[in-house]
Amino acid sequence: MVTQDAQARIVVGLDGSDASIEALREAARLASLLGANVDAMICWDFPGFYAAPYALGASDFESTARQLLDDTVQGAFDGDTPANVSARMVQGPARSTLIDASKGAAMLVVGRRGRGGFGGLLLGSVSSACVAHAHCPVLVVHPPQEEGRPTYD
């Protein structure tokens, strides 16, 4: 629950997909209407089988996540990021990290990578976990349709 003393916070989970870019745009739109801040997050972690090669310098997951975060935020706002939007990287699995970040938030916004047919009726594992376990309302944003407007679950 948000107190009157604290400014409302909308958390957005980013992964670089078109749906997460739309989620960030929608969160910023809602935040401007509500006088809230946007906490845009990208979650990253080392896959278990990469632990040893990473220690030897074979991969740089953190740098890749940083570049993806920067590209996503720049792409969402054409390089003109609103003042109430902050972006950060958090090391950890997306599901649990976003659910933890939802504590005290006014809303959690996540994108859903769309698929056609029967598979398109289902939410992805991260969005499903957020809908089921977040500590605040969750908005699931689909990738933009041909007319350029996102759809919601």
Q: What is the pLDDT of residue 136?
A: 97
Q: What is the pLDDT of residue 116?
A: 46
Q: What is the pLDDT of residue 117?
A: 44
User: Token pair for residue 94?
Assistant: 């997306």
Q: Where are the domains of the chain?
A: 9-141
More reliable by pLDDT, 63 or 149: 63
Q: What is the pLDDT of residue 8?
A: 95
More reliable by pLDDT, 126 or 50: 126
Q: What is the pLDDT of residue 45?
A: 84
17 in Cβ contact with 127 (< 8 Å): no
| Topology adopted by domain 9-141 | Rossmann fold (3.40.50)
Q: Taking residues 123-151, report their average pLDDT.
A: 81
29 in Cβ contact with 85 (< 8 Å): no
DSSP E strands, 21-137: 37-44, 85-91, 107-111
Q: Which of 2, 3, 24, 5 is nearest to 13 (CA)?
A: 24
pLDDT of 110 above 70? yes
How far is residue 78's CA from residue 87's CA, in Å, rounded to a whole number?
15
Q: Taking residues 109-124, report their average pLDDT.
A: 62
Q: 9-14 and 107-111 as β-strands: parallel, antiparallel, unpaired?
A: parallel
State the CB neighbour count (10 A cutoff) for residue 148. Answer: 7
Q: Is the pTM for the entire model greater than 0.75?
A: yes
Q: What is the pLDDT of residue 118?
A: 46
Q: Which of 40, 46, 51 is nearest to 16 (CA)?
A: 40
User: Token pair for residue 18?
Assistant: 């078109």
